[in-house]
Amino acid sequence: MKTEWLDDLSDSGLQRAVQLLQAGECVAVPTETVYGLAADARNAAAVRAIFAAKGRPANHPLIVHLASAEQLPQWAASVPAEAWQLAQAFWPGPLTLLLPKAADVPEEVTGGLPSIGLRVPAHPLLQALLRQLGSGVAAPSANPYKALSPTSAAQVMAGLDGRIAAVLDGGACEFGLESTIVDLTQPEQGIRILRAGPISRIAIEQVLGQPVEVPQQHNEAVPGNVQAHYQPRTPLKLYSSDELAERIKDGVGDDTALLLWSPRLIGLACGRERALILPDNAPAFAQTLYQTLHEADQLGYRQLWLEQPPGTEDWLAVNDRLSRAASQ
């Protein structure tokens, strides 16, 4: 299969992407979080093609992307008041709502589960595509299973060229990490964040006016909730700032690249070691994390040593992705 590269410089790229989706093909599309591998969520065969292209287990649920919140009743069996509150506050944007699925949603989309993840993305190109398509698209990250999520069209092509029909180039992603997932399947029993992301617990609590739980561990099957995920090809190890400082002082081998964020370690490594620099604030770190790991993969080192960010709540999404990226 030849994968088409469609740009956003004219309407022809968008029209071609819509045409391919209507024909049951898979197309990688830009979102504000990461690039997604999209297929018409009403077409069970097209959704199965997503799993085939990624090499992803078919019992893993997918998020369905919609043009507007008004479409929620078409996909969810019930929509509680809390869902409408969060949709009004954060959509379009990087928030996924987990709701009871409507009876006519294909089982392939939900992995056979009774719930469905729904969100309205903010990327203008994907918004235009969804409006023209007139349906929702199921769209996990556009990468081989467990590999790094792509934040550019070039990264999509590096992982899936020849395995999907096309990639729609919408530029670099704004947030760089996957959406926050909020469980609203039983709001009367409490509301939980099942995947940390750009929308924080505090922001959600401010909208709802009630506590929101962020369990350290849970057994719910939601996108991204596998132990080893978001992984570069080069083995990644995480070290605290103090641990990595000692290793730098002792000398780092030529087969190792450092990924650093603190001024102290950047200064310690300056002129002595090969280092890639990450921002020292959580939003900017998140936005550049996957891009930096993609770049590190191209350098030919045997291993990557990354300075672990702080453990405060504003770094929760970043540390979640890093723990999975470094899992053996």
CB 25 within 8 A of CB 160: no
Ordered by where they begin, the domains of the chain are: 4-208 (3.90.870.10), 236-325 (no CATH)
Q: Is residue 320 within a helix (H) or strand (E), and if so which, with residue range?
A: helix 316-325
CB 37 within 8 A of CB 56: no
Interacting residues of 10 by C-beta distance below 8 A, sequence separation 6+ = none
| Measured distance CA(153)–CA(158) in Å, rounded | 9
Eight-class DSSP state of 70:
G
Q: Which residues pair with 39 in a beta bridge?
A: 138
pLDDT at 75: 98
Closest by CA position to 210, among listed 194, 193, 191: 191
CB 1 within 8 A of CB 164: yes
Sign of the torsion formed by the C-alpha atoms of 286, 297, 62 and 164: positive
pLDDT at 327: 86
| Measured distance CA(250)–CA(8) in Å, rounded | 49
- pLDDT tens per residue across span 95-116: 999 999 999 999 999 999 999 9
CB 262 within 8 A of CB 280: yes
286 pLDDT higher than 90: yes
pLDDT at 229: 81
